[in-house]
Amino acid sequence: MPELPEVETVVRLIRPRLTGRKMIGARFSVPRQLRPQTPDSVRRAVRCQVVSRVQRRGKYILIDLDKGTLLVHLRMTGRLYVRSSGKPHDAHERAFFDLDDGCTLVLNDSRTLGTIRYFSKKKLPAQIQRLGWEPLEETPGPDQVRDIFRRRTLAIKPLLLDQSLWAGIGNIYASEILWDATINPQKRASQLTREEIRRLIDSVPRILRHALECGGTTLRNFADPDGKSGSYQDEFRVYGRDGETCLRCGGVIVRIVQAQRSTYYCKKCQKMRQNICGKEKGEIV
DNA sequence: CATTACCTGCAA
DNA sequence: TTGCAGGTAATG
């Protein structure tokens, strides 16, 4: 479930069930997910601590305790939920934090790429410090974005996946945002026009907010133990729609690969545009 | 900058 | 059997 809208949805679901609860134990079946820490050290660190706050930064989940913070990243297949006592287990549950009310905070992660680590207060890890704008809270100015893009020759789509610009955009929403902003995903960031940058800055929070209102995206029939699932997949304009028709212009949606990841866009309305000055460098039609 | 590694599960 | 999947860090 892991782009910003999905992570925020998870945080909102677990927050009321965690806040004020004391952790009385912890178990981990894949020690690698805690690296460079160990199951023993994390278990000892969290034991008897009370959850004071649950937050999100980019795609990271921060579970604040009295004396430190648990940092969880779901990566590709991670799911985080609070299970009531007696409810059935699942084969892919990898980490368990037992709470004083009998419930358990569970990390379910089939590919085991998700990460958990504990850090004591005051020292925010580098991963968090490197993150860029929080899309739902701050909107960068066009000149600021232009200054950054000016120096970047990378295509705009893979650049949107760079968490040091906007934090929380992933592979699905990058395509959806660029469709919304009517920008060709292969266009180099340095070649974006002032107008395209303006539309991009506008589209980023609007698409992510809309997805959040839908409860995020649920792909591949993920069964949520709470019976909750997002519906944004019904709102997709381009993602996974290759061969289908563009809902804006009737053009064909195509799939390409950029930086080893799928990108979807409309070949007609997201075509590389001409400048007033003529064809742009690197144009691919 | 691009490529690879880290993993498992499912569909083509 | 291969390729692909909502991500990031570590390599050349």
What per-residue confidence (pLDDT) applies to A94? Answer: 97
Secondary structure element (H or E) that encloses residue A172, with its range: helix A171-180
pLDDT of residue A219: 81
Q: What is the rounded CA–CA span in Å between residue A228 and residue A150?
A: 42
- Distance in Å from C12's C1' to A261's CA comes to 21
pLDDT of residue A227: 54
Report the distance separating Cα A98 and Cα A113, nearest Å.
Answer: 22
Residues 57-96 of A with CB under 7 A from strand C: 58-59, 73, 75-76
Mean pLDDT by 10 residues, chain A (285 residues): 92 97 97 95 97 97 96 96 94 97 96 95 86 96 95 95 96 97 96 96 97 90 67 94 96 95 96 51 37
d(CA A64, CA A82): 16
Contact A62, A74 (CB under 8 A): no
pLDDT for res A272: 87
Which residue numbers of A are catalytic?
2-3, 59, 261
Place of tokens 């604040």: A64
Find and give the residue nearest to C7, measured CA to C1': A75
Query: Residue A34 CA to B7 C1' — how many Å?
Result: 15
Q: What is the pLDDT of residue A228?
A: 64
Query: Which residue pairs from A275-283 have beta carbons closer than 8 angstroms and sit at least 24 positions apart in sequence?
Result: A275/A193, A280/A187, A280/A191, A281/A188, A281/A191, A282/A186, A282/A187, A282/A188, A282/A191
**Whether A61 contacts A75, CB under 8 Å:** no
How does DSSP classify residue A121? T
Residue type, A253: I
> Does nucleic acid strand B have an atom less than 7 angstroms from the CB of A113?
yes
Domains of chain A: 4-129 (3.20.190.10), 142-266 (1.10.8.50)
Nearest nt by C1' to A79 Cα: C6
For strand B, which residues in window 189-228 of chain A come within 7 Å by CB?
Answer: 220
By C1' distance from the Cα of A113, the closest nucleotide is: B7
pLDDT value at residue A277: 30
Rounded to two decimals, the pTM is 0.94
- Closest residue to B8 (CA to C1') is A111
pLDDT of A184 reads 96
Q: CA–C1' distance A194–C7 (Å)?
A: 30
Predicted local confidence at residue A207, as pLDDT = 97
Query: How far is Cα A278 from Cα A117, in angstroms, rounded to an integer?
Result: 52
What is the spatial distance, in angstroms and rounded to an integer, between the CA atom of A270 and the C1' atom of C11? 35
Asked if strand B comes closer than 7 Å to A153 Cβ, the answer is yes
